């Protein structure tokens, strides 16, 4: 730097010239920045476009491979895609999905936790984490993530996605013998969607699966109040009523379902069975003593006929009967040869003995020896008797 | 008389242009009037230019990679065998025939410019580095872009500085300013870049250089982020709470990282040293052979190709098992040693970080295998491992800590980082006393100042040279009658006097006695002693301080810091010389007595 500030005019001139040249250089530098910024901007833009295209291509290939069941190739594709779009949450999520599918849970979890840290309410991320926790057997973590997924932010179709996540949770709980939790989730799902018959039907089905038939029936009945002709609810209610040994009610629901178009052989068979069971049911609270004895006689008579056809040994002398028929033969021998209402009047204890013998016989008859509808109904009644 | 209309228009046009130029000159004059202010302005401009250049450099090697090795992480085998080898041959011809100065470390080349060439870095070095390093990294050589970016920044700064006819001192300082800008843009980490340049290139924290370095680093990062986005180099997985026992794990990482750093340095230095003993013509084929070998490694381990930032990122997300991470660390050491030692332009920052991430991930994975309850995520170990190698291999302990904090944005890992880095640094310091950059410069026949050696050098203090005073100091507030006998009994030629209000004085005994004889006995000593206050020193001052303060005085008082009236000792020029002689410290030029 030239010395400045001195009195000599030459030095002052030098200083002025020096400053002017600096200003010129600075100005030129500033001007040079304009084309440099422009050129760099264009280059970067071109490169980003190229990167985006490459990422999209790899992503597409990854999705195709993932859908085709080639998870390992999909993982490589998604890794390649991430090289060109490293901050893409979508890609990381897809990679995590592929990793989960391939069983590389730890790596998948790392990506997901990273994503979750920046977007904790993202339902898809939480759902993936829930699935990983489920696979790892960490039930509590899975439930937490499923909840976060169900009540998180979905990219589209929020309602359906939420329901699907909750259903997945309930199925997971059922699979892990957490019936109480599953029941609570199902009831909560139904309660949150009081005007959606489809969801309530699903919830009711899960309630049945968790063993809560009473609440399931309530839910089906709720649907039927919303849509009296809902065939799914009618069948579900029929099944639930049947499972609760409410045979008349089941018969009515099945019949209504058939009237509304559910004419499959299964439903009709169920309806017939329910109707037969309702006709024979000796435990119906509405029956008086005589009517009950009459039904017992009907059951006993059907059982006798079945025994005649399939296990005649039980109707012979207990001493000569084969081992597997000895007990039944003895029980039959303890009863009079012919049972009537008047016998029951004299010996009311014969009614229960006869009923038990009929139930035992229907259970003991080999399944190859096909019975009538009444026989199948008696078997159902036997189950009911056993449970009660 | 009226002038023709077109002439008026032309004059008006040129008049406006002239006015604009005058305005620019005035504005420029105001900005450039003061050198310090101008230097700061210049730092910003250098930062902008460096930021732009680094963005272009990154684009260059990314495009080259796409063109030559395709977009797949694992390129086709044929390409792996051909591309690095052919690129190596091309680079060798380019470097050997046109730019021989491009071989070696950009950090050292910048230091050479600062300490040997008065800050002069030719512009063709910038171009040459840009092209050759861009081709090398893009073609898969295991080298990083930070070192070339640093040198590109320094080169741009040097060119601008010369065009602006900066003073020699400022020209020397401007290269590190550009270096910081280049490094900051390459790392997207301005703090780490500033500290590295101060720690490794400049070696001193002065306000003038610090302000300029910070401004250039910040402006380059702003430009870089403007084009490439604000995302950090790595997306760091969430860091959970640290179990106290886990600190032992990080200590183990420090130990292993220190060992790997040593290995890495030894391999590079030995291989480079051996390759330099081969005939000169082999320098044409050394990069090609290195490229071929790197390509062969890449067939099985494509992760080691190039800078490897994406692989580090994936490691942090637990992509690799610990066994593979250990293999990758070893493969990267080999690939980088081959690439760098063959003279291929490119840096070692990214490879060091890569090896650190792999070692960290491997240690984390291993610990997780045996102690899953107390071991955090592999990602954190990988991150800490990066800092560990940075501290152990590059021997930049402060930079290593700040770099990890900056790229992670998470201060909860500060404890593991500090523990691991310190251990690795100390191991490296113990078993490899000369840092790698200094070893490389010595291989090149240059004796650049070793800032670490300066840092670590034991310095002498005043307490090593001082000796007890022969007589106690006199008090200026006392009367002549009170001190006369002390003065008369003293055998010293010079006497020290302490004045409570005016500090320490030094007086000849004879002069004092002469003056005392001329005044009444109850006169205060303060009234007859010399008015000049003498400098004092403290026991912990550097030993060279007395030399600078002594002047023509025979000695200086060494006083207590909390009690300035308390004389601890005295120190003379001879004392200092004796102390230097005793410790065998290099001779210093000491001015003779005037």
pLDDT per position as a tens digit, A379-388? 888 887 777 6
d(CA B33, CA A26): 13
Question: Looking at the predicted structure, is the pLDDT value of residue B33 above 70?
Answer: no
Inside any domain, residue B543:
yes
Which residues from chain B sit within 8 angstroms of residue A20, using beta carbons? 25, 28-29
Asked whether residue B159 falls in the same domain as residue B175, the answer is: yes
**Position with higher pLDDT, B588 vs B47:** B47
B553 and B564 inside one domain: yes
- In this predicted structure, which of A130-139, B294-303, B481-490 has the lowest mean pLDDT? B481-490
Question: Hey, is B589 helix, strand or coil?
Answer: coil
State the pLDDT at residue B590.
43
Q: For residue A11, what pLDDT is reported? A: 53
**Interatomic CA distance for residues A10 and B187, integer angstroms:** 48
Question: How high is the pLDDT of residue B558?
Answer: 95
Model's pTM, two decimal places?
0.72
The 10s digit of each residue's pLDDT in B215-255 is 999 999 999 999 998 887 787 777 777 788 889 999 999 99
Work out the minimum CA distance from A11 to partner chain B, whole angstroms.
15
Q: Three-state SS for B570? A: strand
Q: How far apart are the first and last CA of chain B?
A: 79
Give the least confident one: A356-370, B297-311, B334-348, B381-395: A356-370
Confidence of residue B357 (pLDDT cuts 50, 70, 90): very high
B250 with B172, same domain?
no
The pLDDT assigned to A264 comes to: 75
Q: In this predicted structure, what is the pLDDT of residue A2?
A: 37
Q: Which of B201, B228, B255 is the endpoint of a domain?
A: B228
Residue A1: predicted pLDDT: 38
Q: How far apart are CA B80 and CA B78, in angstroms?
A: 5
**Tokens coding B544:** 């060279």
Least confident of A312-326, B146-160, B333-347: A312-326
- Which residues are paired to B142 by β-bridges? none
Angle, helices B322-341 vs B349-370, to 10°: value is: 160
Instruction: Tell me, yes or no, whether B207 and B177 share the same domain.
Output: yes
Task: Answer yes or no: do B49 and A36 touch at CB < 8 A.
Answer: yes
**A114 vs B165, B237, B319: nearest CB:** B237
Interatomic CA distance for residues A372 and A61, integer angstroms: 60
Size of interface A-B (CB pairs under 8 A): 111
CATH number of the structural domain spanning residue B484:
3.10.580.10
Mutate to test the interface with B, among A114, A117, A118, A136 (most CBs of B within 10 A): A114
Position B28 confidence tier, pLDDT thresholds 50, 70, 90? low
Q: What is the CATH number of the domain that holds B425?
A: 1.10.3080.10
**Is the domain of B397 the same as that of B546?**
no
* Residue B3, pLDDT above cutoff 70: no
Instruction: Classify the phi-psi angles of B491: left when phi > 0, otherwise alpha if psi is within -120 to 50, otherwise beta.
Output: alpha
H or E element at residue B568: strand B567-572
The answer to whether B363 faces chain A, any CB pair under 8 Å, is no
What number of other Cβ atoms are within 10 A of residue A158's Cβ?
A: 12
From A19, which residue of chain B is nearest by alpha-carbon distance? Answer: B29
State whether B500 and B399 are in the same domain.
no
Using CB atoms, pick whichever of B24, B35, B52 lies closest to residue A1: B35
Please report whether residue B238 resides in a domain. no
Residue A152 in tokens: 């998180």
Domains of chain A: 182-280 (1.25.40.10), 289-387 (no CATH)
d(CA B96, CA B84): 17
Structurally, how many domains does chain B consist of? 4
B4 and B45 assigned to the same domain: no
Q: Which two tokens stand for residue A275?
A: 């109707």
State how far the Cα of B511 lies from the Cα of B529, in Å rounded to an integer. Answer: 9
Q: Please report the pLDDT score of residue B30 as a whole number.
A: 61
A86 touches chain B (CB under 8 A): yes
- Which residue of chain A is at minimal alpha-carbon distance from B62? A47
SS3 content of chain A, % helix, strand, coil (to 5): 80, 0, 20
Give the tokens for residue B503.
């500090």
Query: Are B493 and B561 in the same domain?
Result: yes
pLDDT band per the 50, 70, 90 thresholds, residue B155: very high
Does residue B593 surpass a pLDDT of 50? no
More confident residue, A94 or B12: A94
* CA within 13 Å, CB half, B181: 37
B9 inside domain? yes
Phi, psi of B409 (to 5 degrees): 65, 25
Task: Say if residue B63 is in the same domain as residue B16.
Answer: no
Given B228, B256, B273, the domain boundary residue is B228
Asked if A42 has any chain B CB less than 8 Å from its own CB, the reply is no
State the smallest CA–CA distance between residue A61 and chain B in angstroms.
12
Q: Quick check: A87 and B71 CB within 8 A? A: no
Query: H or E element: which one contains B567?
Result: strand B567-572
Task: Based on the fold, state whether residues B305 and B175 are members of the same structural domain.
Answer: no
B235 part of a folded domain = no
Per residue in B440-468, pLDDT tens?
A: 988 888 877 776 766 667 778 999 999 99
Query: How big is chain A, counted in residues?
Result: 388
Contact B379/A at CB under 8 A: yes
How confident is the model at residue A372, as a pLDDT? 84
Structural domain harbouring B379: 246-455
For the beta carbon of residue B56, count every other beta carbon within 10 angstroms.
18
Task: Say if B372 is an interface residue toward chain A (CB within 8 Å).
Answer: no
Domain boundary among B390, B421, B455: B455
Using DSSP, state whether B590 is helix, strand or coil.
Answer: coil
pLDDT class for B168, splitting at 50, 70, 90? confident
| C-alpha A74, offset from chain centre | 27
Whether residue A58 lies within 8 A of chain B, CB to CB, comes out as: yes
By CB atoms closer than 10 A (0-12, 13-18, 19+), residue A369 is exposed
Same domain, B182 and B62: yes
Partner-chain residue, chosen from B45, B52, B63, that has the shortest CB–CB distance to A40: B52
Contacts of B589 (CB under 8 A, 6+ apart): none
Residue B573, pLDDT > 90, answer yes
Tell whether A109 lies on the interface with B, counting CB pairs under 8 A: yes
Q: What is the DSSP code string of A342-366? A: HHHHH-THHHHHHHHHHHHHHHHS-
* Spatial contact of A219 and A193, defined as CB atoms under 8 Å apart: no
- Give the C-alpha separation, B339 to B136, whole Å: 9
Considering only CB atoms, A22 lies closest to which of B66, B164, B229, namely B164
Q: How do the pLDDT tens digits run along chain A, 388 residues long?
A: 333 334 455 555 555 565 557 778 888 888 999 999 999 999 999 999 999 999 999 999 999 999 999 999 999 999 999 989 888 889 999 999 999 999 888 888 888 988 888 889 999 999 999 999 998 889 999 999 999 999 999 988 899 999 999 999 999 999 999 999 999 999 999 999 989 999 999 999 999 998 898 899 999 999 999 999 899 999 999 999 988 888 888 999 999 998 888 777 788 888 889 998 888 888 888 888 888 888 998 898 888 888 888 877 777 776 777 777 778 888 888 888 788 888 888 888 888 888 888 888 888 887 778 778 888 888 888 887 777 6
Q: Is residue B350 part of a domain?
A: yes
- Considering only the beta carbons, identify the residue of A47, A79, A109 that sits closest to B59: A47
Residue B461's φ and ψ, nearest 5 degrees, are -120, 170
Using CB atoms, which residue from A41, A87, A110 is nearest to B231? A87
Cβ contact (<8 Å) for B38 and A40?
A: no
pLDDT exceeds 80 at position B19: no
Residue recorded with tokens 């359906």: A160
Q: What is the pLDDT of residue B376?
A: 76
Distance from CA of A161 to the nearest CA of B (A): 27
Residue of A nearest to B25 (CA): A23
Indicate if B191 and B295 belong to the same structural domain.
no
Task: Name residue, tokens 């209309």.
Answer: B5
């Amino acid at each position: 730097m030239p010395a400045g500030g001195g009195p000599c005019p030459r030095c002052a001139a030098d200083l002025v010239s020096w400053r002017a040249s600096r200003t010129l250089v600075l100005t030129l530098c500033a001007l040079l920045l304009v084309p440099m910024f422009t050129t760099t901007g264009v280059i970067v833009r071109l490169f980003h476009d190229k990167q985006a295209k490459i990422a999209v291509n790899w992503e597409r290939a990854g999705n195709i491979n993932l859908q085709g069941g080639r998870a390992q190739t999909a993982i490589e594709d998604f890794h390649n895609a991430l090289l060109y779009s490293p901050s893409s949450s979508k890609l990381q999520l897809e990679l995590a999905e592929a990793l989960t599918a391939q069983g590389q849970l730890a790596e998948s979890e790392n990506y997901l936790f990273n994503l979750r840290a920046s977007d904790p309410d993202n339902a898809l991320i939480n759902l993936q984490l829930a699935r990983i926790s489920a696979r790892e057997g960490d039930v509590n973590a899975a439930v937490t993530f499923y909840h976060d997924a169900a009540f998180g932010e979905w990219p589209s179709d929020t309602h359906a996605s939420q329901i699907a996540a909750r259903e997945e949770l309930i199925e997971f709980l059922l699979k892990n013998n957490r019936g109480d939790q599953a029941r609570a989730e199902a009831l909560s799902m139904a309660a949150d969607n009081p005007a959606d018959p489809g969801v309530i039907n699903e919830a009711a089905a899960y309630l049945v699966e968790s063993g809560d038939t009473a609440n399931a029936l309530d839910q089906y009945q709720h649907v039927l109040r919303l849509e009296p002709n809902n065939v799914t609810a009618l069948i579900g209610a029929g099944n639930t009523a049947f499972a609760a040994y409410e045979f008349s009610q089941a018969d009515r629901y099945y019949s209504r379902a058939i009237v509304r178009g559910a004419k499959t052989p299964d439903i009709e068979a169920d309806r017939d069975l329910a109707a037969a069971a309702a006709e024979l049911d000796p435990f119906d609270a509405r029956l008086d003593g005589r009517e009950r004895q009459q039904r017992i006689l009907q059951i006993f008579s059907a059982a006798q006929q079945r025994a005649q056809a399939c296990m005649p040994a039980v109707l012979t002398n207990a001493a000569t009967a084969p081992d597997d028929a000895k007990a039944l033969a003895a029980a039959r021998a303890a009863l009079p040869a012919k049972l009537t209402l008047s016998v029951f009047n004299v010996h009311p204890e014969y009614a229960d003995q006869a009923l038990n013998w009929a139930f035992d016989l229907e259970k003991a008859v080999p399944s190859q020896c096909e019975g009538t509808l009444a026989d199948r109904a008696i078997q159902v009644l036997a189950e009911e008797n056993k449970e009660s | 008389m009226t002038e023709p209309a077109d002439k008026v228009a032309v004059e008006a046009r040129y008049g406006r242009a002239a006015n604009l130029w005058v305005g620019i000159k005035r504005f420029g004059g105001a900005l450039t009037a003061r050198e310090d202010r101008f230097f700061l302005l210049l730092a910003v401009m250098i930062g902008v230019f460096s930021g732009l250049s680094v963005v272009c450099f990154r684009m260059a090697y990314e495009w080259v990679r796409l063109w030559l090795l395709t977009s797949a992480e694992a390129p086709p085998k044929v390409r792996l065998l051909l591309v690095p080898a052919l690129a190596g041959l091309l680079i060798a011809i380019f470097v050997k025939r046109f730019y021989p100065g491009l071989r070696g470390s950009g950090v050292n080349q910048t230091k050479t410019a600062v300490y040997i060439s008065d800050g002069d870095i030719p512009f063709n070095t910038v171009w040459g580095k840009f092209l050759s390093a861009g081709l090398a990294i893009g073609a898969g050589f295991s080298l990083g872009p930070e070192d070339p970016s640093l040198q590109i920044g320094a080169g741009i700064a040097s060119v601008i500085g010369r065009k602006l006819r900066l003073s020699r001192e400022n020209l020397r300082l401007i290269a590190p300013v550009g270096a910081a800008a280049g490094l900051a843009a390459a790392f997207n980490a301005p703090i780490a870049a500033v500290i590295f340049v101060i720690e490794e290139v400049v070696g001193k924290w002065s306000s003038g250089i610090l302000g300029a370095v910070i401004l250039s680093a910040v402006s380059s990062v702003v430009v870089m982020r403007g084009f490439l986005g604000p995302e950090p180099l790595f997306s760091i997985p969430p860091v959970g709470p640290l179990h106290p026992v886990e600190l032992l794990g990080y200590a183990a990482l420090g130990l292993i990282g220190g060992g790997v750093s040593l290995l890495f340095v030894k391999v590079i230095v030995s291989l480079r040293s051996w390759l330099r003993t081969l005939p000169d013509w082999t320098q044409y084929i050394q990069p090609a052979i290195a490229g071929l070998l790197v390509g062969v490694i890449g067939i099985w381990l494509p992760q080691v190709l190039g800078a490897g930032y994406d692989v580090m990122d994936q490691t942090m997300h637990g992509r690799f098992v610990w066994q593979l991470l250990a293999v990758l660390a070893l493969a990267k050491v080999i690939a980088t040693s081959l690439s760098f030692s063959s003279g291929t332009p490119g840096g070692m920052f990214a490879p060091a970080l890569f090896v650190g991430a792999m070692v960290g991930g491997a240690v984390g994975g291993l610990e997780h295998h045996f102690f899953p309850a107390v071991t955090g995520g592999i990602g954190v170990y990988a991150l800490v491992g990066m800092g560990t190698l940075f501290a152990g291999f590059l021997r930049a302990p402060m930079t290593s800590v700040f770099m990890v904090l900056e790229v992670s944005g998470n201060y909860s890992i500060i404890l593991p980082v500090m523990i691991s880095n310190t251990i690795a640094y100390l191991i490296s310091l113990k078993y490899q006393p000369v840092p790698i950059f200094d070893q490389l410069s010595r291989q090149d026949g240059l004796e650049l100042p070793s800032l670490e050696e300066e840092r670590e050098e034991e310095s002498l203090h005043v307490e090593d040279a001082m000796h007890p005073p022969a007589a106690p100091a006199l008090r200026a507030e006392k009367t002549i009658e009170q001190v006369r006998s002390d003065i008369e009994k003293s055998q010293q030629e010079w006497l020290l006097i302490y004045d409570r209000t005016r500090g320490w004085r030094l007086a000849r005994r004879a002069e004092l006695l002469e003056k005392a004889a001329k005044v009444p006995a109850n006169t205060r000593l303060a009234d007859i002693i010399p008015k000049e206050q003498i400098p004092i020193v403290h026991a912990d001052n550097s030993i060279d301080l007395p030399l600078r303060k002594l002047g023509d005085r025979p000695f200086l008082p060494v006083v207590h810091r909390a009690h300035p009236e308390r004389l601890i000792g005295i120190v003379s020029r001879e004392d200092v010389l004796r102390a230097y002689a005793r410790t065998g410290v290099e001779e210093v030029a000491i001015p003779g007595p005037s």
